[in-house]
């Protein structure tokens, strides 16, 4: 027996970290840190005092080098302002002013131009540092959102590829397809089990909504007979199972497969080989990892058919768990949107929740645009034409009634200027293709910028303004 891990699977993709200043070396990152350290004030004070002490030791008669021909000591506040912003730069300037008061005679004339020029230089450099630090933070937050979508798309494409292979092999033996699996996992990720809201005496509450349903579904899809799901809180594995199937068993915290799965965040399993190694009491340990790389639970499988212990089946197990974990991460926000707009598609509500959180966290503006077309032959043609002109990042929700067709377009990282550009591009396309524009085609345009804590209510107001009653 030997211990191995399923590697190189898209469902366990490692989180990507964006570097707004590029891949800097250690020396360059020390001189120009991407973010301010918690001890920036201490570093500033120590740096200025050390430089002033050295200048006092080298030139006791002129510590500030007023007669050196160049204000060399103002390079220190300049460096501090570029690193940490204008406020700490002004703090360095205050130390310079204190040094003049301490080291020079009170009868000496005050060097007005020396200090005025140095302070203006420091303020300008600090403004530059603050501006680009804010832009770097916004870019980092936007990259995190794009990475989140990339991981979700990777999992979706992998599931779609597996669905075609499984249809050829298992259509006769299994009544469900992977498309049904995706639908079921979406339902479980936003499910609210009232029985778990008030746990029984001596039992822990379920931190993952629908965990029991998840385990039953995964056991059926991957042919698992005895298994249990254990929660992970702040990186610590719990000993009380939140869901189990088959015979109950206690978790061995120091088991080899458990440790390997937690350390690598990938599926660890046993397979037969000629070598002899310490035997684990489990067959498979699969982590439940969300799209942002957070470990939420661990699935421990104690018994399953021998023929099911293969790479494809274990790969499918890991991807299904990751897909569920990603849905649970956004389930509370998504559920509030679905409660306000029941007919809203899950993918649309998921991205709406992500972009709302992105706007609240980093101030990255995103928008909703609703285009209402009349329901006739010309309007339907324009409606389909505009749908084909979607941007690659946009998420569209087409809604058609007897009187009109409404295209709701969710546009990530798009403010008022971006909306104007989008509408101008649509009008140019309609003019070139149909010799008309939005006004002459009687197309209503309604916009909404994502802000606040209730995107579902805002989406409902936008739909009502568009003439829909959903």
State yes or no: pLDDT of 273 exceeds 80: no
Q: What are the CA-CA distances from residue 226 to residues 98, 243, 256, 283, 321 (Å)?
A: 74, 11, 19, 10, 17
How far apart (Å, rounded) are the C-alpha atoms in residues 296 and 312? Answer: 23
Q: What is the mean pLDDT of residues 169-181?
A: 54
Residue 183: its pLDDT value, please? Answer: 60
Q: What is the mean pLDDT of residues 233-250?
A: 89
State yes or no: pLDDT of 360 exceeds 90: no
State yes or no: pLDDT of 409 exceeds 80: yes
Residue 424: its pLDDT value, please? Answer: 92
Residue 275: its pLDDT value, please? Answer: 36
Residue 265 CB-half CA count within 13 A? 19
**Which tens digits make up the pLDDT trace of 26-63?**
544 555 454 455 677 788 888 888 888 888 788 777 78
Which of 139-143, 235-239, 291-295, 432-436 has the least mean pLDDT? 291-295
**Which tens digits make up the pLDDT trace of 145-171?**
888 888 888 888 888 887 777 666 655
CA angle at residue 244 from 243 to 248, to 5 degrees?
A: 130
CA dihedral 200→204→207→208, nearest 10 degrees, is -70
CA dihedral 288→290→296→301, nearest 10 degrees, is 0
Enumerate the β-bridge partners of residue 269: 4, 284
Q: Dihedral sign, CA of 119, 123, 128, 132?
A: positive
pLDDT band of residue 189 (cuts 50, 70, 90) is: low
Residue 2: its pLDDT value, please? Answer: 43
Q: Provide the token pair at 262.
A: 């937690």
Nearest CA to 393 out of 135, 141, 140, 145 is that of: 145
Beta carbons of 217 and 358 less than 8 angstroms apart:
no
**Which tens digits make up the pLDDT trace of 378-394?**
999 999 999 988 877 78
Residue 78: its pLDDT value, please? Answer: 85
By three-state DSSP, how is residue 200 classified?
A: coil
Q: Provide the token pair at 37.
A: 């350290």
Residue 196: its pLDDT value, please? Answer: 34
How far apart (Å, rounded) are the C-alpha atoms in residues 312 and 305? Answer: 14
Beta carbons of 19 and 34 less than 8 angstroms apart:
yes
Residue 405: its pLDDT value, please? Answer: 93
Residue 3: its pLDDT value, please? Answer: 42
Please tell me which residue, 8 or 351, carries the higher pLDDT value.
351
State yes or no: pLDDT of 246 exceeds 50: yes
Backbone angles phi, psi at 38, to 5 degrees: -65, -25
Residue 57: its pLDDT value, please? Answer: 87
Q: What is the pTM of this model?
A: 0.54
Which of 49-53, 257-261, 429-433 has the least mean pLDDT? 49-53
Residue 227: its pLDDT value, please? Answer: 94
Strand positions, DSSP E, 309-458: 367-374, 395-400, 404-411, 444-449
State yes or no: pLDDT of 135 exceeds 80: yes
Residue 298: its pLDDT value, please? Answer: 93
Residue 170: its pLDDT value, please? Answer: 56
CA dihedral 135→138→139→143, nearest 10 degrees, is 170
State yes or no: pLDDT of 368 exceeds 60: yes
How far apart (Å, rounded) are the C-alpha atoms in residues 278 and 301? Answer: 18
pLDDT band of residue 107 (cuts 50, 70, 90) is: low
Please tell me which residue, 202 or 195, carries the higher pLDDT value.
202
Q: What are the CA-CA distances from residue 224 to residues 288, 304, 309, 317, 371 (Å)?
A: 16, 5, 10, 10, 48
**Which tens digits make up the pLDDT trace of 213-222?**
888 888 888 8
């Amino acid at each position: 027996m030997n211990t191995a891990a399923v590697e190189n699977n898209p469902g366990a993709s490692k989180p990507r970290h964006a570097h707004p200043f590029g891949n800097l070396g250690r020396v360059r990152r020390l001189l120009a840190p991407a973010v301010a350290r918690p001890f920036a004030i201490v570093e500033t004070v120590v740096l200025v005092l050390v430089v002033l002490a050295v200048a006092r030791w080298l030139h006791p008669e002129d510590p500030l080098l007023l007669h050196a021909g160049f204000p060399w000591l103002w390079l220190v506040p300049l460096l501090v302002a570029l690193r940490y912003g204008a406020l700490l730069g002004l703090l360095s300037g205050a130390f310079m002013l204190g040094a003049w008061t301490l080291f020079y005679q009170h009868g000496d004339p005050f060097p007005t131009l020396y200090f005025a020029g140095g302070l203006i230089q420091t303020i300008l450099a600090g403004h530059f540092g603050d501006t680009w630090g804010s832009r770097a933070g916004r870019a980092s937050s936007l990259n995190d959102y794009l990475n989140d979508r990339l991981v979700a798309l990777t999992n979706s494409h992998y599931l779609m590829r597996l669905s075609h292979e499984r249809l050829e092999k298992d259509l006769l033996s299994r009544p469900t397809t992977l498309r049904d699996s995706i639908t079921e996992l979406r339902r479980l990720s936003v499910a609210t089990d009232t029985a778990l809201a008030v746990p029984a005496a001596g039992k822990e509450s379920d931190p993952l909504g629908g965990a029991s349903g998840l385990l039953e579904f995964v056991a059926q899809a991957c042919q698992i007979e005895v298994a249990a799901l254990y929660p992970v809180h702040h990186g610590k594995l719990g000993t009380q199972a939140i869901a189990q199937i088959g015979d109950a068993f206690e978790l061995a915290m120091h088991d080899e497969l458990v440790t390997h799965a937690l350390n690598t965040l990938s599926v660890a399993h046993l397979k037969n080989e000629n070598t002899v190694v310490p035997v684990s009491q489990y067959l498979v340990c699969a982590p439940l990892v969300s799209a942002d790389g957070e470990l939420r639970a661990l699935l421990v499988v104690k018994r399953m058919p021998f023929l099911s212990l293969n790479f494809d089946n274990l790969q499918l197990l890991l991807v299904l768990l990751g897909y569920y974990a990603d849905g649970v991460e956004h389930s509370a926000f998504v559920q509030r949107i679905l409660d306000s707009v029941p007919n809203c598609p899950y993918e649309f509500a998921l991205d709406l929740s992500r972009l709302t959180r992105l706007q609240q966290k980093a101030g990255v503006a995103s928008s909703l645009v609703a285009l209402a077309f009349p329901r006739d032959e010309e309007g339907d043609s324009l409606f389909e034409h505009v749908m084909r002109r979607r941007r690659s990042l946009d998420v569209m929700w087409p809604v058609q009634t007897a009187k009109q067709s409404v295209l709701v377009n969710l546009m990530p990282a798009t403010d008022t200027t971006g909306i104007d550009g989008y509408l101008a591009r649509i009008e140019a396309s309609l003019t070139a293709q149909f010799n008309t524009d939005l006004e002459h085609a009687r197309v209503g345009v309604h916009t909404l910028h994502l802000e606040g804590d209730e995107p579902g209510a805002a989406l409902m107001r936008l739909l009502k303004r568009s003439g829909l009653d959903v």
